[in-house]
């Protein structure tokens, strides 16, 4: 279109107007809303605009063409203006959200400065991991790298993914693990907050996570019945400490084999507190806005509100499902099982016990048979449908440490796998996707 290069001859706002294409000037010239103001423009400026209009009209002559050009120009101008405003609003909201997240984290760090572990810079994190070379694994919450501290000790460094670095997951982990000191809970040794980059440093666990042992599908000689029982005891002690031994009641909401780490002596450590919640210890029922956890380990009350209120019994249910998988060394729900009755393992176990049969374990001693039977009975108590029937973790420990002959058989559980209940009701958990443990397994 026709442009005039005379904007330097006129001061603002005339400079803006004279720089417009001719068809827009034509619209300005004939606009009823602007005709009143047009008469007050300088004479030479009005003459220049009339010249633009005349040249434009002489070039096209066809009134329909002029109308189409004017209409198209106005639509284009308005569209560009709307797009510019939309982009500006989006940029403003994104910046405001990031500032809000940063302010929330900074406020949290200042408020809880007394119990926080060591704070590292991002450059120190990069140096510890040798430029993030030794990657242990990757999961929904980011990537885990092997690092080395100045003391020479190894560390597992979890670098939070940008999608998960929204501040809440970071605060959850630091607020919970930062105040917990127990032999069966992984130790948080440091953290990093630098802009959008956030990392958490833990003790390195050389034997990885429990799922690597029980789901390997191989005859793993390192996981004997006695060792499996000791791991179960350690996990139970860790959960009981979270529920009863801290100043605040800590509900984990994601107990599963992937989140149980094993040190060099196969001592279990509960990890991944990204979904954890803190409540006063006297709160028997807690509030929760949405279901959280991993399908297959989530308590039914997270889906069915009429079953009962949400409490520490949700962790008890998850522990029961974990314990059952340790007994069978397989996943509880397996659509490819050899027999139809074995698809849902807890149901198969209960029916065998109800018929007076034991679990087939191969060539094991009577002591080992009793250990496995005891673990299975405790697991069946833990996965009862109604929370009120499930034992507390204190009672679970008593049952595990007692003789199997003294244990009563629980009522028949209403077997509704949480995977199926979630799918039937269209429920999706915020953490239904596999989460990540410190050895990088998802």
The span from the CA of 207 to the CA of 211, in Å, is 11
Task: Examine residue 13 and say whether the peptide bond preceding it is cis (omega within 30 degrees of 0).
Answer: yes
Ramachandran quadrant class, 272 (left: phi over 0; alpha: psi -120 to 50; beta: rest): left
Going by the DSSP 8-state scheme, the letter that residue 391 receives in this structure is P
| Tokens at 34, concatenated | 């602007």
- For residues 417, 418, 424 and 426, what is the CA-based torsion angle, rounded to 10 degrees? -170
CA 372/CA 398 separation, integer angstroms: 16
Q: Are 236 and 395 within 8 A, CB to CB?
A: no
Q: Which of the 8 DSSP states describes residue 209?
A: B
158 is in an annotated binding site: yes
Please give the torsion angle defined by the CA atoms of residues 292, 296, 300 and 301, in that order, rounded to the nearest 10 degrees. -20
Judge whether 363 counts as a catalytic residue.
no
Q: Tell me the two tokens of residue 11.
A: 């001061």
Q: How far is Cα 385 from Cα 416, in angstroms, rounded to an integer? A: 8
Of the candidates 294, 313, 298, 310, the residue with the CA atom closest to the CA atom of residue 431: 294
Ramachandran assignment for 193, one of left (phi > 0), alpha (psi -120 to 50 degrees), beta (any other): beta
Among 169, 211, 254, 272, the one annotated catalytic: 254
Question: What whole-number distance in Å separates Cα of residue 181 and Cα of residue 264?
Answer: 19
Give SS3 for 111: helix
Residue ranges for the known binding site for ATP are 158
Could you give the residue numbers annotated as active site? Answer: 254
Residue ranges for the known binding site are 158
């Amino acid at each position: 279109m026709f442009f005039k290069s005379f904007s330097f001859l006129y001061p603002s706002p005339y400079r803006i107007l004279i720089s417009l294409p001719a068809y827009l000037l034509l619209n300005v010239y004939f606009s009823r809303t602007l005709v009143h103001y047009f008469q007050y423009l300088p004479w030479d400026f009005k003459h220049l605009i009339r010249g633009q209009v005349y040249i434009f009209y002489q070039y096209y002559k066809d009134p329909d063409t002029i109308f189409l050009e004017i209409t198209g120009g106005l639509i284009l101008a308005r569209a560009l203006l709307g797009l510019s405003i939309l982009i500006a609003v989006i940029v403003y909201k994104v910046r405001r959200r990031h500032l809000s997240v940063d302010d929330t984290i900074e406020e949290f760090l200042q408020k809880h400065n007394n119990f926080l572990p060591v704070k590292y810079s991002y450059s120190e994190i990069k140096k510890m991991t040798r430029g993030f070379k030794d990657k242990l694994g990757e999961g929904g919450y980011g990537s885990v790298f092997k690092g080395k501290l100045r003391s020479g000790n190894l560390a597992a460094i979890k670098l939070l993914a940008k999608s998960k670095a929204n501040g809440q997951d970071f605060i959850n982990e630091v607020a919970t693990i930062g105040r917990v000191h127990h032999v069966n809970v992984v130790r948080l040794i440091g953290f990093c907050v630098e802009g959008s980059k956030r990392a958490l440093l833990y003790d390195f666990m050389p034997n990885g996570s429990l799922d690597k042992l029980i789901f390997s599908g191989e005859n793993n000689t390192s996981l004997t019945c006695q060792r499996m029982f000791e791991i179960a005891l350690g996990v139970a002690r860790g959960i009981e400490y979270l529920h009863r031994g801290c100043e605040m009641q800590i509900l984990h909401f994601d107990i599963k084999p992937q989140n149980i780490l094993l040190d060099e002596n196969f001592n279990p450590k509960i990890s991944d507190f990204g979904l954890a919640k803190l409540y006063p210890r006297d709160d028997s029922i807690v509030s929760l806005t949405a279901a959280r956890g991993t399908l297959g380990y989530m308590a039914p009350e997270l889906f069915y509100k009429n079953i009962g209120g949400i409490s520490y019994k949700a962790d008890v249910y998850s522990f029961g499902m974990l314990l059952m998988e340790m007994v069978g060394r397989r996943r509880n729900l397996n659509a490819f099982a050899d027999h139809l009755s074995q698809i849902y393992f807890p149901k198969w176990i209960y029916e065998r016990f109800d018929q007076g049969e034991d679990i087939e374990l191969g060539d094991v001693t009577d002591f080992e048979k009793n250990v496995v039977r005891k673990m299975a009975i405790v697991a069946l108590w833990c996965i009862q449908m109604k929370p009120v029937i499930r034992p507390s973790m204190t009672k679970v420990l008593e049952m595990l440490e007692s003789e199997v002959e003294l244990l009563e058989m629980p009522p028949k559980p209403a077997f509704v796998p949480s995977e199926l209940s979630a799918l039937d009701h269209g429920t999706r958990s915020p953490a239904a996707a596999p989460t990540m443990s410190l050895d990088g397994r998802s």
